[in-house]
Amino acid sequence: MQREQSSTRSAYWKEGRSEVIHRSLDHLLGLARHYRNEGCNWQAMDIFWKLSEDHAGTTQSMEAQMNLLEMAESYERHEEPHAARAVYERLSDSGADGRARA
């Protein structure tokens, strides 16, 4: 009986923890978008990279990577090739799990 209760509590805790993580990642993505819209590109990129590399496999990670790609394309259009190249290289150096290779 006690094992069942412990197992139920553990499953409930994991579900709750998963929800907290998911919502936190959504908020981080929203903050990064806000920074980008306000022209605070470095702050936006910092959060996008964190989502991309530290939370690989999540929807938020893929959205962050798409935002980073768009930012690199914008750098390229505005004749900032070094900034664009750095983003393209870091994105392409990501391994299959989304983490940057050492």
* pLDDT (0 to 100) of residue 3: 67
Greatest alpha-carbon span in the chain: 67
- Measured between alpha carbons, how far is 75 from 72 in angstroms, rounded to an integer? 5
Residue 100: is its pLDDT beyond 60? no
CA distance 11 to 16: 9
Between CA 86 and CA 58 the distance in angstroms is 23
16 — pLDDT class (breaks 50, 70, 90): confident
Q: Are 67 and 34 in contact (CB under 8 A)?
A: no
pLDDT tens-place string over residues 29-55: 999 999 999 999 999 999 999 999 999
Question: Is the pLDDT confidence value at 96 over 90?
Answer: no
Which pLDDT belongs to residue 4?
A: 67
Identify which has the larger pLDDT, 26 or 4. 26
Report whether 82 contacts 63 (CB < 8 A): no
